[in-house]
Structure 1
Amino acid sequence: MAVAKKITINDVALAAGVSVSTVSLVLSGKGRISSATGQRVNDAVEQLGFVRNRQASALRGGQSGVIGLIVRDLTSPFYAELTAGLTEALEAQGRMVFLLHGGREADQLLQRLDMLLTQGVDGVIVAGASGVSNELCERAAEKGVPLVFASRASYLDEADTLRPDNMQAAQMLTEHLIRRGHQRIAWLGGQSSSLTRAERVGGYCATLIKYGLPFHSEWVVECGSSQKQAAEAISTLLRASPTISAVICYNDVIAMGAWFGLIRAGRQSGDGGVETFFGHQVALGAFADVSENALDDLPIVWATTPAREMGYTLADRIMQRIEKSDVQAGHQIVSARLVTVK
């Protein structure tokens, strides 16, 4: 008698037209999955007769069922959200995440990787590894362990990497303000040493040039991620250049501080046309690493690249590398979305 083919989670994903991580999230009841997608997955499960076996999945092929995750800075909101999404998706597939804080020194990251490799993890994800990516790749390759990077900027182009498209996000945000009639647009926040900031400022400047608008170096203001510093900085900026009608903020903390600074200066923020801004209002745009549902209810235009969703994508990627040894390293760039909160 012929033995029936065992239905796998990959079969369910194919039948439902979604990713493996999406199937896992639906089955576990985790994540923000639309009702339509959930219904497609459940229909596929019922039609195929899929029965989930977490333990068998984790132990198949002599695997440990453990994925190593090294995060360079656990205090970063971006990496915290990414870690939450990644952990959620991997645990939904019956995998355990071994989380280590990498620190900011190169030798610390290398030590953490060696520790994970010694523990026999199935794969490793490194979130933030500027300057040591080649060494990390070499050590992981020696042990035959898949390695995937998550970064905030483009310094890891030769590795298997997932990162946001910082220039596209800045171009989209700047262009939105220009189409609202703004021609005197300033930049607030970030440090000159940040590559993420450099890419965003590059997109901002390129868009101004594209539309033939003025660029003033004194309108690009550095500022630490502090609401107090941002409030003081925007007040100083507008006193020096009162005709500025829009300001793009480096992140959500800067945006909140700028909003308070405008109130203190007797101004308001909003997303109206430029005719409403002279003398009273200043439009605010900002970058965010969270989903639309988590944004503050303020009159700010956001370019958002949800880090949690990037975590879901990372889970898919590392599982592909683990399950299929012939999968080649790639470079995936995640585009931002424009969100207007009213």
Structure 2
Amino acid sequence: MAKRAKPAAKRGRAASKGVSVAAGELLTLLDFVRYAVSRFREAKLTFAHGTTDPVAEAAFLVCETLHLHPDQFETFATARVTAAEAKQILDVVARRVTTRKPAAYLVNKIYMRGLPFYVDERVIVPRSFIGELLDSHFSGSDEAGGSLIDDPGSVHNVLDLCTGSGCLAILAAHAFPQASVDAVDISADALDVAARNVADHGLEDRVSLHRGDLFRPLGDRRYDLIISNPPYVDAQGMADLPRECRAEPKLAFDGGPDGIDIVRRILDQAGAHLTPQGGLLCEIGRCRGALETAYPQTDFLWLDTEESDGEVFWIGAGGL
């Protein structure tokens, strides 16, 4: 008489409502992405940290767990994973569901414009539209009729206010190869993360970090370009923040009752820190109405990206 087959060994266990996965049920990268998407949708997670949907987030987590760049997913989509790798993937999927922390915190990484940056709970997870705009409107190419400068090499001094993880300062250093970049944040913890990223990208000689309140640590320095992704969430938005966003530093979100308290201060002081041909590029999310009401005589140029409409403005020194 044939012996009864032993139960298949468990390949991993997800912590979402006791769901378990047995050996052989999930084999390829695509299998694990599909599984993760189902768990994410079941848990009604929020996606607002560099990925905007469960499929993109699942692919990101699978690739990071397997030490693959996101661009390599399609190449290895049908490749099988090992039992040890499967366990790691299922673990990070389970932690995403049970903790509701942003995926970037779970793997300590985020990508902007294809470049990797270290992140942890000391900084907001970067997802600014300014990185795309540096490519589309400041590259010197006028193919789309939208370039705001003629020559990136003519930009010699850049300031990044509210730098957080330092990602925009680093992207600016890449966009303007002749420029020195000053990056300011009021948070010492954030600057520790920024210092790590600056070192990782080998830019210690071009990106300088300053702790302080906006322009205060800079003296009378002037810049060809000021960029900023400041706190701009209004009071109602702060009250409605999803659980994922509540894992991030409140300081990086809170823009006061109407969301533009910090933006007002930047606008009021930026003119004294710009060269005559310089300008300010500032992200304000959905506060366009509040800003235009507060500054009815100011001629803002609103810039769109692939995923945003009128959430970033440009204003030249003359307009300030």
TM bucket by the smaller chain? 0.3 to 0.5
Higher relative contact order (CA 8 A, sep 6+): 1
- Calculate the TM-score normalised by the size of structure 2: 0.34
- Calculate the TM-score normalised by the size of structure 1: 0.33
